[in-house]
Amino acid sequence: MKRALVTGVSGQDGAYLSKFLLEKGYRVYGTYRRLSTPNFWRLQHLGVFEKINLISCDLIDENSITEALRISRPNEVYNLAAQSFVGASFEQPTGTGMVTGLGVTRVLEAVRQFDTGIRVYQASTSELYGTGGRSKQNEGTPFYPASPYAAAKLYGHHMARIYRDAYGIFACNGILFNHESPLRGLEFVTRKISNGVAKIALGIEKNLSLGNLDAKRDWGYAPEYVRSMWLMLQQKMPDDYVIATGESHSVREFVSEAFNVAGLDWKKHVKVDRKFMRPLEVNLLRGDSRKAGKKLGWKPNVKFRELVRIMVENDMSLWRRWMDGEHFPWDAPSYPSEANILSRNLRV
Ligand code: NAP
Ligand code: GDD
């Protein structure tokens, strides 16, 4: 039986990937951080919580990474753990560097010392392209990161390549464009919108405050994207791949489509608040995943409109059940209104 270690198992991708690997017959080990309130709702939601071997580990603590490798003795490591929110990286630039950047080196170095035969997937990102993009971005497009998060990820990206070239470690960078789902964190714009629309449609709230509506993203469906991570580690040779839908839509289009699903006019409910604007913005991301199509046989099926519908209908259905008195593991009811969270950007 193959063994996989997934760092960041409590996150969106960690949850879907664990489910995928369990279905493939893997023994799955997942690392989680010690928090004051445990955060396993996604694993519970997917019905896989009991099937995963959980190991406490923090990417700033190298001993905990070595210990996770010793306990799990994995064939494959999927390094998904990160401070993954671009907005927060402007507020915590050093912390983001320590986790999202140096954390990668800690994982790679632990693998080098423990067993160089372990295959490593590094969660790289389309954010690396930053402000440079105009046409479709592929593996040859230059990187020009535009946030502390992206700079940290770029460092991690290069370290994975360096460990591959220097030590022969089978390390792959998955340059994944934005991928969303009902399990997306509530601070990311797509889920913020789908949850906001659901609450407005059900009369729980009246308005939704957002930042830059002009930014364009290439949004795909997370359950399909985790399959590409696994495919990368099954190849003969390690390599880096862009994973994307090839379509780009603005935040405004996402908003309009999401309110449409609920039969509402977005212009009556959406407000723009500078608080949600970033000091530096990535205006356009649109990926060219032809290499992944050719070499991995990967292609996306769920496109923009279906993705929006899936997310809005899911949030509406969960809020209805919740209001009917049903209680289940879920993030939305305990998430505060972002209006109460102060932003440093207000001072710029
Ligand atoms: P996510 O939902 O934010 O999950 C991040 C995970 O990292 C969580 O399990 C989190 O644990 C964990 N984590 C945070 N800080 C940590 C630390 N110091 N030590 C150990 N674990 C830590 O992110 P995601 O959307 O699943 O993304 C997975 C990875 O892919 C991330 O590296 C992200 O940057 C990258 N990525 C995501 C996308 C996307 O569109 N989703 C696109 C490209 C790349 P807690 O639950 O305790 O917070
Ligand atoms: N979060 C948020 N909240 N974003 C907003 C808002 C808002 O109220 N209003 C507008 N936006 C805009 C952001 O400025 C950005 O241009 C876009 O919506 C998407 O923001 P996020 O959903 O926070 O995602 P992201 O693109 O910055 O980063 C995500 O995708 C990357 C891959 O390109 C994250 O998952 C990263 O971890 C990932 O690497």
Alpha helices in the chain (DSSP H): 12-23, 41-45, 62-72, 86-91, 93-96, 102-114, 148-167, 189-201, 222-233, 251-261, 290-295, 304-323
- 225 shares its domain with 109: yes
* Per-residue confidence (pLDDT) for residue 338, from 0 to 100: 79
Answer whether residue 150 is part of any domain.
Answer: yes
pLDDT, one tens digit per residue, over 254-304 is: 999 999 999 999 999 999 999 999 999 999 999 999 999 999 999 999 999
146 in Cβ contact with 120 (< 8 Å): no
**What is residue 274's predicted lDDT score, i.e. its pLDDT?**
94
Whether the pLDDT of residue 341 is over 90: the answer is no
Does 106 share its domain with 202? no
Q: Is 148 in contact with 215 (CB distance < 8 Å)?
A: no
Q: Tell whether 148 and 163 lie within a shared domain.
A: yes
Residue 147 beta carbon below 6 angstroms from any ligand 1 atom: no
Is there a domain that residue 126 lies in? yes
> Using CA atoms in the order 255, 308, 233, 104, what is the torsion angle rounded to 10 degrees?
30
We report the CATH number of the domain holding residue 199 as: 3.90.25.10
Contact 239, 232 (CB under 8 A): yes
Domains in the chain, number: 2
Does any domain span residue 235? yes
- pLDDT for 48 equals 98
Asked which of 29-38, 92-101, 226-235 is least confident by mean pLDDT, the reply is 29-38
| 155 in active site | no
Indicate whether 347 pLDDT > 60.
Answer: no
CA distance 136 to 285: 8
Could you tell me if 34 and 168 lie in one domain? yes
- Confidence class of residue 314 from pLDDT cuts 50, 70 and 90? very high
> Which ligand number lies closest to the CA of residue 210?
2
- Residue 348: pLDDT band with limits 50, 70, 90: very low
- Decide if pLDDT at 339 tops 90: no
Q: Binning pLDDT at 50, 70 and 90, where does residue 342 land?
A: low
125 lines ligand 1 (CB under 6 A): yes
In terms of domains, do 141 and 191 share one?
no
Asked if 138 and 266 sit in the same domain, the reply is no
> pLDDT band at residue 344, thresholds of 50, 70 and 90?
low
Q: Which of 243, 259, 293 is the last residue of a domain?
A: 243
Same domain? For 148 and 204 the reply is no
**Is residue 203 located within the same domain as residue 61?**
no
pLDDT in tens, 39-71: 999 999 999 999 999 999 999 999 999 999 999
In a domain, 347, yes or no: no
Q: What is residue 135's predicted lDDT score, i.e. its pLDDT? A: 84
Please give the average per-residue pLDDT across 242-260, as a whole number.
98
**Residue 205 pLDDT > 80, yes or no?**
yes
Query: Domain for residue 289, yes or no?
Result: no
The pLDDT of residue 134 is above 80: no
**How many angstroms is it from 188 CA to the middle of ligand 2?**
6
Mean pLDDT calculated for residue range 92-120: 98
User: How many CA atoms, within 13 angstroms, populate the side-chain half-sphere of residue 40?
Assistant: 18
Give yes or no for a contact between 44 and 20, defined as CB atoms under 8 angstroms apart: no
- At 2, the pLDDT band (50, 70, 90 cuts) reads very high
Residues 25 and 49 occupy one common structural domain: yes
CATH of the domain at 75: 3.40.50.720
Q: Looking at the structure, tell me whether residues 203 and 116 fall in a common domain.
A: no
Q: Are both 191 and 232 inside the same structural domain? A: no
**Annotated catalytic residue within 26, 29, 121, 149:** 149
The percent of residues in the chain predicted with pLDDT above 90, rounded, is 94
Closest ligand 1 atom to 85 CA:
3
- Note whether residue 292 is domain-resident: no
User: Is 290 within the bounds of a domain?
Assistant: no
In terms of domains, do 223 and 211 share one?
A: no
296 inside domain: no
Domain that holds residue 152: 3-179+219-243
Asked if residue 64 has its Cβ within 6 Å of ligand 1, the reply is no
Give the model confidence (pLDDT) of 139-174 as tens digits: 999 999 999 999 999 999 999 999 999 999 999 999
With cut-offs at 50, 70 and 90, classify the pLDDT of residue 132: confident
* CA distances (Å), origin 40, targets 17, 187, 241: 14, 17, 30
- Does the pLDDT at position 187 exceed 80? yes
Conformation bin of residue 168: beta by default, left when phi > 0, alpha when psi is -120 to 50:
left
Please answer whether residues 123 and 59 qualify as being in contact, where contact means their C-beta atoms are separated by less than 8 angstroms: no
- What pLDDT does residue 38 have? 86
Which of 12, 157, 176, 188 is the best mutation target for the ligand 2 pocket, counting ligand atoms within 8 Å of the beta carbon and taking the most?
Answer: 188
Q: What is the pLDDT of residue 133?
A: 67
94 belongs to the catalytic site: no
Which one of 76, 127, 224, 257 is the catalytic residue? 127
* pLDDT score of 87: 97
